[in-house]
Structure 1
Amino acid sequence: MRQPQRTPLYLLTGFLGSGKTTLLNQWVQDPAFSKALVIINEFGETSLDHLLVSRSTEEQIVELSNGCICCTIRGDLAKTLSDIGWRFSRNGVKSFDKVIIETTGLADPSPILNTLISNEKLFQHYRLQGTITTVDAANALHTLDRYREAKRQVAVADLILLTKLDLVNAEVAQHVQQQIYRLNPTAPIQQALRGVTALSALLELDHVEPVQSTTALPTWLSFRAVQFEPLAQEQTPALLRCAEPEPGLHKSSIQAFCYQLEHPVRLQAVEQWLDILLPQMGHQLLRLKAILNVEGFPGPMVIHGVQQLLHPTAVLTQWPDDDRQSKLVFITDGLTAEKLEVSLQPLLKLTV
C-alpha cells in the first residue's frame, strides 16, 4: 500500500516573553503557511485575537483570517495529532498542509519530541522539520542562568531565533550568543530585528531526520569553526575533544560536548557503542548528533537521537566533501565529559 505523505510539523518554543507571539503572528500571515494548522497549549501566552474570524468554544477551534486553523490542546498531544487528520478534512482531503505546535513559556520540549519519535502512528503521518526556540536577548543571561526550562529549550533547538536585539548593545548580544553556543553548538542563530525575521530560515528548516533530509550535511552538523584538541596521550590520540568556547563562562548541568574521530570505525563498534550509550545514559542525553565514517560504506552514517530514542539512521551514498572524519555532538543534562568519553571506547577499540 502507498504510504501517506507525511505532514511537515514545526515545534515553536521559547521562554516567557521571548517573542513567540510576534513570530507566530508573522508566521501565519505568510502565504506559505496559509493552510497551516496551529496547535497551542490552553495555558499558552499566544494571542492571535486580532486575526480571528470565528471560534467554537466547545471544540476550542479557531479559524484565522488567512485560512489557518488554531486548535487548543486540552489533553494528550498524541490524541490531538491523531484526531486532527479527520477533524479537519473535507471529502477525505485534509484542510491543512503543515502543523505548528506552540508550547508554553515554561514547557520542556523534550516530552513532545519523544512523543513524535516514539509514537509509530504519528511518525508515519508527521515529519518533524525542526524545533525553533526564541531567545530574548535583553533577558537571556538572567533567564538562562536561573531557569532550567529555558536551558532545555535552547539545548534541543534546531534553530535559535534571537529577539529584542534592539534593546541590548553589541557586547551583551555577543555574550548571549556565547551562552547559547555553550548549550547548543550546532543550532544556527537567526536574528530578529524589531520583531521581524526572515521566514525563509523557517521554510528551509529540515534538521531533524537524517533520512531524506534536504539539509546539507555540513549544515546539519555545523561546528561553527570549532577548534579541536587531543585528549591526554595516555587515553587515546585518535579522539579529539572540542575546546571550550569561552572558559570563563558559568557552567550548568546542561552542557554540550563535541568530539572528532580521525579514523574509520567498524559497524560492529557503532552497534556496541549505541547498546551501551542509550540504555545507560539516554535519560541524561537531550540530543545526540553524529556523522560517522564507517568501514565499508561509500558515504557517512548519520545518527540523530533524543534521549533514549533514535530517528531512523541514514547512510548517505557519498561524502559531501573531502572531510572524512567522524564527528559527534552530545547535548547533555548532568553527564560529565569523562563518562561520555568512556562510552566512546568501543568506537576506539575497533578503529581500523
Structure 2
Amino acid sequence: MTVVTGFLGAGKTTLIRAALAHPSAARTAVIVNEFADAGIDDVLLRTAALDVTLIGNGCICCAARSDLNRALRALYADRERGAVPPFDRVVVETSGVSEPAPVLQSFAADRTVTGSYALEGLVTVVDSVLAARTQSQASIWSEQVALADRIILTKADLVLPAGGAEVRALVGALNPQAEIADAADVRDVPGFLFGAPGRSRSGFACTPQAATPGVAPYDSFVLTFDAAFDWATFMRIMDALSAARSEDLLRVKGLVNVRGCDGPVVVHHVQHLAAPPEELAAWPPAGDSADRRTRLVFITRGLSRQKVAALFAAHLDLQPGEAAGSDRGPVMRAG
C-alpha cells in the first residue's frame, strides 16, 4: 500500500490518473479517502458513481469518506471472495487537508489491516507555485513534506528556474532523506509514485542531516549499525524510546539486520504504534554486494539524533565515542 498525500490542489488525482494508464499499473486498487459528503476526486478517477468501480487497465477504485481501515478490510474481503478482480497494490489518495501521521497510525494499529497489506511508503505531492505560501499558512503542509518517503513537485513549468531551485531547497530542508522528482519526469514512471519493488526499502542508507533551523520543527537523521541485532533487544530499545518520547517520534523506518534472518526486517513506527515487521527474502544489492548494515531513518520533533543515539548506546553497552558516530552517521558496533 502506498499513501499519496499533498495539500489541496497540488495535483494528486492528475498524477494518479496518468500513472494508472500505464501498463505496469495494472492490478492496482485506488482508495480515495475524502471526508466531505460529496467527493470529486473519486468521480474523476472512476467511470461510474459506484462504491467500487472498474476504471480500466485492470484497476479498481472505491471511495472511503469515513473509515479508511474499514475500506481496506472490505476491499481485501471482496478480493478474496472474487467480488472484485485481484489486485497487487493499493494506492490511497488522502484528502488535501489530511495529516499523514494519523493515517499511518491508524494503519499500524489495525492488526487485521496489517495482516493483509504492507506499507510501501508515503508520497507527497507539492505545488511548486504555491509551496512557500502554503507553508506559511498551513502547518499540515510541513508535516506532509516532512514525513514523506518520496516527494513529487508539480507545476514546475510555471516557475522560473530560480524558483524551482528554491522549492527544492525548501522541501529538502524539511526532509533531506526523501527522494525528490518533478512530475514531468515521473508521469510515465508509475514505480516512482506507486513504489517499485525494493525502491523505498533499498533507499535507507542516506547521509544524515537536520532540517534547517527556523524552517520547521522537524529533524531527520539516520542511525547505522554494523552488528546484527537480537530482535528482543531491538524491540526493547524501540519500546523504551516510544514510552519516553512517543509524541515526538513522528516516524521511524528502516532495514534491521536481525540475527538468524537471511534478509533484512522492514520496520515502520509512527509515534507509539508499530506496523508488524516484515522479513525480506534477501538484502537489496549495493554495488557488487549487499549492504547488511542496519539503517534506521528517524523523523522527530524536538528529539535530537544525539539523544536517540545515546539510548541505543546505553542498551547496547557501547562506548560514548561509538555512540557519537561520524559525519555519515553513528556506526555502532554491538558485537
| Residue of structure 2 aligned with 1:200, choices 180, 191, 200 | 191
Greater fraction of residues in strand? 1
Tell me what 2:82 maps to.
Answer: 92
Tell me what 1:191 maps to.
Answer: 182
Tell me what 1:37 maps to.
Answer: 29
Kept after mapping to 2: 8 A contact 1:264/1:325: yes
Tell me what 1:264 maps to.
Answer: 227
Pairwise CA distance, 1:277: 0.8
Structure 1 residue matching 2:297: 3-state secondary structure: strand
Tell me what 2:237 maps to.
Answer: 273
Tell me what 2:214 maps to.
Answer: 250
The CA distance in 2 between the partners of 1:14 and 1:182, in whole Å, is 17
Pairwise CA distance, 1:120: 1.7
Aligned ranges for residues 18-97 of structure 1 at < 5 Å? 18-40=10-32, 41-43=34-36, 46-47=40-41, 49=43, 52-56=46-50, 60-64=51-55, 68-87=59-78, 92=82, 94-97=84-87
Identity %: 29
Tell me what 1:170 maps to.
Answer: 161
Q: Tell me whether 1:221 sits opposite 2:196 in the alignment.
A: no
Pairwise CA distance, 1:244: 4.8
Q: Do the aligned partners of residues 167 and 243 (structure 1) sit closer, same or farther apart at CA in structure 2, a change above 3 Å counting?
A: same
Greater fraction of residues in helix? 2
Q: Tell me whether 1:12 sits opposite 2:18 in the alignment.
A: no
Q: Do the aligned partners of residues 325 and 39 (structure 1) sit closer, same or farther apart at CA in structure 2, a change above 3 Å counting?
A: closer
Tell me what 2:296 maps to.
Answer: 328
Kept after mapping to 2: 8 A contact 1:292/1:327: yes
Q: Where in structure 1 are there 5+ consecutive unaligned residues?
A: 1-8, 207-213, 227-241
Kept after mapping to 2: 8 A contact 1:14/1:134: yes
The structure number with the bigger radius of gyration is 1
Q: Do the aligned partners of residues 45 and 143 (structure 1) sit closer, same or farther apart at CA in structure 2, a change above 3 Å counting?
A: farther
TM-score (norm 1): 0.73
Tell me what 1:310 maps to.
Answer: 274
Pairwise CA distance, 1:10: 2.3
Q: Tell me whether 1:285 sits opposite 2:249 in the alignment.
A: yes
Q: Do the aligned partners of residues 266 and 157 (structure 1) sit closer, same or farther apart at CA in structure 2, a change above 3 Å counting?
A: closer
The CA distance in 1 between the partners of 2:45 and 2:228, in whole Å, is 55
Kept after mapping to 1: 8 A contact 2:142/2:216: no
The CA distance in 1 between the partners of 2:46 and 2:102, in whole Å, is 30
The CA distance in 1 between the partners of 2:59 and 2:282, in whole Å, is 39
The CA distance in 2 between the partners of 1:326 and 1:88, in whole Å, is 35
Q: How many residues align?
A: 312
The CA distance in 1 between the partners of 2:2 and 2:60, in whole Å, is 15
TM-score (norm 2): 0.76
The CA distance in 1 between the partners of 2:19 and 2:30, in whole Å, is 10
Pairwise CA distance, 1:94: 3.6
The CA distance in 2 between the partners of 1:265 and 1:29, in whole Å, is 43
Q: Where in structure 2 are there 5+ consecutive unaligned residues?
A: 319-333
Question: Over residues 278-303 of structure 1, what are the superposed CA-to-partner deviations in whole Å (9 max), with x where a residue is unaligned?
Answer: 22222321211345567888876654
Q: Do the aligned partners of residues 135 and 280 (structure 1) sit closer, same or farther apart at CA in structure 2, a change above 3 Å counting?
A: same
The CA distance in 2 between the partners of 1:141 and 1:275, in whole Å, is 37
What amino acid sits opposite 2:239 in the alignment? D
Structure 2 residue matching 1:193: 3-state secondary structure: helix
Structure 1 residue matching 2:66: 3-state secondary structure: coil
What amino acid sits opposite 2:65 in the alignment? R
Kept after mapping to 2: 8 A contact 1:157/1:187: yes
Kept after mapping to 1: 8 A contact 2:210/2:220: no
The CA distance in 2 between the partners of 1:149 and 1:302, in whole Å, is 27
What amino acid sits opposite 1:274 in the alignment? M
Q: Tell me whether 1:109 sits opposite 2:100 in the alignment.
A: yes
Kept after mapping to 1: 8 A contact 2:105/2:270: yes
The CA distance in 1 between the partners of 2:263 and 2:47, in whole Å, is 51
Q: Do the aligned partners of residues 55 and 172 (structure 1) sit closer, same or farther apart at CA in structure 2, a change above 3 Å counting?
A: same
